[in-house]
Amino acid sequence: MRNASNNEIKLLRKLNRKKYREKEQRFVVEGERAVEQVVENGLLDVETVFVQERFKVQDVRFKEIEVCVLEDEIFAEVADTDNPQGILAVCAMPDEIQYEQLADESGIIVATDAIQDPGNMGTILRTAAWFGAKALIAGKGSVDVYHPKVVRSTAG
């Protein structure tokens, strides 16, 4: 474990905004359960885990992932929640799949239209994953699927 650099702190602040998530092709997963799930399932590339000073990381699951410590005050600034749980992870966005690629494979594809509530989108994503959906197509007017509230609500 090491202290987070100024550049990492700046990146965390930026990733709270959609335009920077898209530019950097990264997003934040916040909360103990959500971070544990993303690390366990191995479907996403977890680049770095950030913890508050008080948070104790003794979990073998984080052995292969760099863990950085943030001062409590800074953690509160970069966290999206009012009462952060003391842990968040920066993940790389998976590559987007083109419609043509989806047509060549069988399986469940979920399409949404103008889902604006982050909690509802997260619930749809979580349910789609449970049913084994291979893709989600978010129609025009839909909330960003990497919005922090969407990501948190996918953890259930």
The DSSP letter of residue 28 is E
- Between CA 30 and CA 99 the distance in angstroms is 30
Residue 2 — pLDDT band, cuts 50, 70, 90?
confident
Lowest mean pLDDT among 1-5, 24-28, 72-76: 1-5
Residue 156's pLDDT is 62
**CATH top class, domain 2-92:** alpha beta
Residue 1 — pLDDT band, cuts 50, 70, 90?
confident
Q: What is the mean pLDDT of the chain?
A: 88
Provide mean pLDDT across the span 57-70. Answer: 76
- Between CA 58 and CA 3 the distance in angstroms is 17
Lowest mean pLDDT among 50-59, 88-97, 118-127, 140-149: 50-59
Provide mean pLDDT across the span 122-143. Answer: 91
Residue 58's pLDDT is 64
Provide mean pLDDT across the span 129-151. Answer: 91
Is 36 in contact with 61 (CB distance < 8 Å)?
A: yes
Provide mean pLDDT across the span 101-124. Answer: 88
Residue 55's pLDDT is 77
The closest alpha carbon to 120, from 96, 147, 97, belongs to 147
Partner residues linked to 66 by β-bridges: 48
> Domains of the chain: which residue ranges?
2-92, 99-154
Residue 118, token pair as written in the block: 């982050």
What is the value of pTM for the model shown?
0.85
DSSP states of 136-147 = EEE-TTPPPTTS
Residue 1 three-state SS? coil
Rounded to 10 degrees, what is the CA torsion of 99, 101, 105, 110?
-30
